[in-house]
Structure 1
Amino acid sequence: MRLSLRTPGIFIFGLVMAPCGWVLNLTATVAPNWRTLEDLPDRPSNEFIEQGIWDICRSVTTSTSSTCGLEDGTYFGNEIIDVAQGLMVASLVVTLAGLAVAIPGIRCWKDRPNWVVAGLGGVLIFISGVFILIPISWYTHILEDISTVTPRVTVRVGYCIVLGFIGGIFEILGGFVMFIGICRCCGGKNRGEVRVQETGRTRFSARPQSQPRRVDVPSLSRDRSPAPSSVPYIRDSLDDDVSFPRAKSAGPRSVDTGDVSP
């Protein structure tokens, strides 16, 4: 029997979460805002510095323009920067590899999916999420201990850290759910593989067959008179129905036309 071509829900969940996490991680990788330094010494109060893993920018609160490409050998010399650069790039590559492996295993044009291939793709997506959370968590833990920070400087978490956490969690959840598909049981019915013929027979058999309702339609046929007339009534029958005497119609007047002598 032919199986329905509906994609299992766990694969749909993984294919939605993984690309969303990849976009968030890409933003967290290239954007220079892992942390923000405010209240800089010998600088205007409205000026702040945004530091990322690839670039450093200086901005002011009264303008949207930024000056990037600042050099800071001490900051880029920290071990966390090298680790974050390698793991963030590796995570992006592994996520794409996981999607490339999982997509052929997901049933969209076949009767049933290849659960092993799709599960391996989920494992790669799960690993890419772990690669994201390692540098993000480490950088957050030593946020105020990284060099170039004095006690007078205020350190704030940048939006890249938040996006990285969300993207990593998305990929971990999506990859884990896709990996669960390797554990097959119950003949595939718990994964949405329902036979089309069984489904149609069940739906029609579960519905009680109702008897056709009988409706009495009044007959509109009438006896027609042998000589149909365009007048809807007969004058004699109308005279019989009148319950009061009717005035007699006046007869024709006679006009006296006597001879007139000259």
Structure 2
Amino acid sequence: MQTPASMVMGIVFAPLGLVLVLTAAITPQWRERQARLGTTGHGSLLRAGLRGQGAVARTGPADAPLMLRTDGLWESCLQVEHSELKQCWPVTGPYRRDPRVRLAQGLVLTSLFLCGTGIVLACIGVRCWTDLPLRGVAATGGLLVVTAGLLSLTALGVYTHSLGRLGMAEPGRGRGPAQHRVPQPGLRAAGSLYFGWLGSCLQVLGGSALLLSFKRPQCSTCAPCPHLPPRRSRPKISHRPDADAYEVSC
């Protein structure tokens, strides 16, 4: 069987999009911020680690080591530039309880599940080992893949739109002065978001290609063979005895 080009495009783009979205989901580089190390909090801990590694800990704010803070859906990391010192921990505090972060987590998990299910159905529907593919099954898988791509795009859009306000309490909510912090400048999108955007677009493209499986192409094997004469012009085969072939009438 010659697999249609739409099915080939779908079964190639859909798994690739799934891998990219999964990579974005498990990596902690959704947003990042750079800052100079201070003398308290994580800065003092990292300075102690740098001293333990033999590095020189500078005290001036201008020449202090540069710290890179990254946040993901399930993990946050803190790393010193040009150093192997890195610390990661599960997301906690207001960032973990932020409804937009929880919404993005749920949408990404649902997207991964739907995309995996759609790829399985697409593989069953293509059936490259037989002559007739199951077009309805392949198209249903494509519909699931398109839905998964749209869900992941929604999650990425919500996170990117509120990137600088995630984990910050809204005015009028919470108790105490610590709940009324303003978004800190310097937050920007990191590499995992770009992986997610690319993977989601590939999912939508692959699923749309599989949806074209609903269109049944014309069967090229049903056309009459040009090497055979038409039925009405074919010679008739007689089953009469050989003697009848030489019968002479006056």
Corresponding residue for 1:164? 196
Q: Secondary structure at the match of 1:144?
A: helix
**Residue range with higher mean Cα deviation, 13-22 or 62-71:** 62-71
Tell me the secondary structure at the aligned position of residue 15 of structure 2: helix
Where in structure 2 are the equivalents of 1:73-112 lying within 5 Å?
Answer: 73-112=93-132
User: 163-172 or 58-67, which moves further after superposition?
Assistant: 58-67
How has the CA–CA distance of structure 1 residues 70 and 46 changed in structure 2, closer, same or farther, with 3 Å as cutoff?
Answer: farther
CA gap of 1:75–1:197, structure 2 versus 1, over 3 A, is: same
- The 3-state SS of whatever aligns with 2:114 is helix
Amino acid corresponding to residue 195 of structure 2 in structure 1: L
Structural mapping, 1:51-70, within 5 Å: 51-69=71-89
What are the equivalent positions in structure 2 for 1:163-182 lying under 5 Å apart? 163-182=195-214
Instruction: Give the counterpart letter for 1:27 in structure 2.
Output: T
- Aligned-partner residue type, residue 208 of structure 2: F
1:155, 1:40 → 2: CA distance?
Answer: 14
After superposition, the Cα gap between the structure-2 partners of 1:109 and 1:200, relative to the gap in structure 1 and judged at 3 Å, is farther
Pairing partner for 1:194 from 217, 220, 223: 220
Corresponding residue for residue 6 of structure 2: 10
Aligned counterparts, 1:9-28, within 5 A = 9-28=5-24
Aligned length: 191
Residue of 138, 158, 161 corresponding to 2:158: 138
CA contact (8 A) 1:91 1:132 kept: yes
| Rounded Cα–Cα distance in structure 2 between residues aligned with 1:65 and 1:89 | 31
Q: CA deviation at 1:194?
A: 3.5
Task: Look up the equivalent residue of 2:21 and give its one-letter code.
Answer: N
Taking the aligned partners of 1:195 and 1:127, their CA distance within structure 2 comes to 35
The structure number with the bigger radius of gyration is 1
Q: Deviations over 1:139-161 (max 9, x none)?
A: 11111122358565411211111
C-alpha RMSD of the superposition: 2.4
Structure 2 residue identity aligned to 1:165 = W
How far did 1:183 drift?
2.7
- Structure with greater proportional helix content: 2
Whole-angstrom distance in 1 between the partners of 2:225 and 2:130: 19
SS at structure 2 position matched to 1:33: coil
Distance 1:171 1:143 in 2: 24
Structure 1 residues 196 and 143, CA gap change in structure 2 (3 angstroms): same
TM-score, normalised by the number of residues in structure 2 = 0.70
CA contact (8 A) 2:149 2:201 kept: yes
3-state DSSP of counterpart to 1:195: helix
CA contact (8 A) 1:41 1:153 kept: no
